[in-house]
Structure 1
Amino acid sequence: MNIQNNGKPDAARILRQSLGAAVVGLATFAALVPQAAQGQTIKIGVPVPLSGSSANAGTDILNGAKLAAAKINAAGGVLGKQIELVPEDDACDAQTAVQAAQKLVDAGVVAVAGGYCSSAALPELTTFHRAGIPYVLDASTNPKLTEMGYDNVFRTIGRDDQQGPFAASFIKNSLNAKRVAVIDDNTTYSKGLAQNTVEALKKDGVDVVYADSITPGQMDYSPTLTKVASLKPDVIYYTGYFSEAGLIVKEARQLGLKMTLMGGDGTNDPTLMKTAGPAADGMIITTSPLAQFLSGAHGYVDDYTKAYGQGPGPYSVYEYDAVGVTAKAIADAKSTTPAAIIAALHKVKDYPGLTGTIGFNPKGDRSRAVYITVIVRNDQFEAYQRQDAAGKWVAMK
Structure 2
Amino acid sequence: MRQRSIIAITAALAAGSLTLTACGSRDDGNSGSGGGDKTKVVIGVDAPLTGDLSALGLGIRNSAQLAVDTANKDELVEGVEFELEALDDQAQPSVGQQNAQKFISNKDVLGVVGPLNSSVSQQMQKPLNDAGLTQVSPANTGTELTQGDGWKTGDSVRQFKTFFRTATTDEIQGAFAAEYLYSKAGIKKVYLISDQKTYGAGLAASFKTNFTKLGGKIVGEDNVNPDDRDFNAVVAKVDKTGAEALYYGGEYPAAAPLSQQLKDSGSDIPLMGGDGIYSGEYPKLNKKAEGDLATSVGKPVEELPSAKEFIDNYKAEGFEDPYEAYGGLTYDATWSIIEAVKLAVEGNDGKVPDDGRKAVLDAMSKVKFDGVTGTISFDEFGDTTNTTMTAYKITKNAWASEYSGAPKLS
TM exceeds 0.5?
yes
Answer yes or no: is the 8 Å Cα contact 1:93–1:120 preserved in 2.
yes
Over the matched positions of the two proteins, sequence identity in percent amounts to: 28
Q: CA deviation at 1:387?
A: 3.5
Partner residue in 1 for 2:5: none
Answer yes or no: is the 8 Å Cα contact 2:252–2:276 preserved in 1.
yes
Q: 2: CA distance between counterparts of 1:338 and 1:189? A: 29
Mark the CA change 1:250 to 1:98 in structure 2 (over 3 Å): closer, same or farther: same
Q: 2: CA distance between counterparts of 1:295 and 1:233? A: 39
Partner residue in 2 for 1:111: 111
Tell which deviates more after alignment, 304-313 or 218-227.
304-313
Mark the CA change 1:216 to 1:223 in structure 2 (over 3 Å): closer, same or farther: same
Q: 2: CA distance between counterparts of 1:60 and 1:104? A: 20
Answer yes or no: is the 8 Å Cα contact 1:301–1:311 preserved in 2.
no
Partner residue in 2 for 1:379: 397
Q: CA deviation at 1:38?
A: 4.9
Partner residue in 2 for 1:175: 185
Answer yes or no: is the 8 Å Cα contact 2:142–2:169 preserved in 1.
yes
Q: CA deviation at 1:310?
A: 5.6
Answer yes or no: is the 8 Å Cα contact 2:19–2:25 preserved in 1.
no
Partner residue in 2 for 1:284: 293
Number of equivalenced pairs: 361
Map 1:79-94 onto structure 2 (within 5 A). Answer: 79-94=78-93
Give the one of 164, 177, 192 matched to 2:202: 192
Q: Does 1:317 align with 2:335?
A: no
Q: 1: CA distance between counterparts of 2:396 and 2:258? A: 19
CA deviations on 1:22-68 (whole Å, 9 max, x unpaired) are xxxx99xx999415255631011101111221111111100100111
Map 1:237-276 onto structure 2 (within 5 A). Answer: 237-276=247-286
Q: Which one scores higher on RCO, CA 8 angstroms, separation ≥ 6?
A: 2
Q: CA deviation at 1:378?
A: 1.6
Q: 2: CA distance between counterparts of 1:377 and 1:251? A: 19
Q: CA deviation at 1:284?
A: 1.3
Letter in 2 for 1:50: L
Q: Does 1:153 align with 2:163?
A: yes
Map 1:354-393 onto structure 2 (within 5 A). Answer: 354-387=372-405
CA deviations on 1:204-243 (whole Å, 9 max, x unpaired) are 1211112321101212111111111211111111121011
Q: 1: CA distance between counterparts of 2:315 and 2:259? A: 28
Give the one of 322, 331, 335 matched to 2:342: 331
TM-score by length of 1: 0.86
Report SS of the residue matched to 1:227. helix
Partner residue in 1 for 2:11: none
Partner residue in 1 for 2:137: 137
CA deviations on 1:233-292 (whole Å, 9 max, x unpaired) are 111111210111111111111111111221211001111111102x11111111113322
Partner residue in 2 for 1:22: none
Answer yes or no: is the 8 Å Cα contact 2:117–2:199 preserved in 1.
yes
Q: 2: CA distance between counterparts of 1:32 and 1:78? A: 19
Mark the CA change 1:111 to 1:212 in structure 2 (over 3 Å): closer, same or farther: same
Tell which deviates more after alignment, 330-339 or 40-49.
330-339
Mark the CA change 1:360 to 1:203 in structure 2 (over 3 Å): closer, same or farther: same
Q: Does 1:216 align with 2:232?
A: no
Q: CA deviation at 1:305?
A: 2.9
Runs of 4+ in 1 over 6 A off after TM superposition: none
Letter in 2 for 1:161: E
Q: 2: CA distance between counterparts of 1:42 and 1:340? A: 13
Q: Which has the larger radius of gyration?
A: 1
Partner residue in 2 for 1:4: none
TM-score by length of 2: 0.84
Q: CA deviation at 1:132?
A: 0.7
Q: 2: CA distance between counterparts of 1:262 and 1:302? A: 31
Answer yes or no: is the 8 Å Cα contact 1:304–1:310 preserved in 2.
no
Q: 2: CA distance between counterparts of 1:327 and 1:89? A: 22
Where structure 2 has 5 or more consecutive residues not aligned to the other structure, the ranges are 1-13, 28-38, 148-157, 346-351
Report SS of the residue matched to 2:403. strand
**Structure 1 vs Structure 2 CA RMSD:** 2.1
Partner residue in 2 for 1:163: 173
Q: 1: CA distance between counterparts of 2:280 and 2:272? A: 15
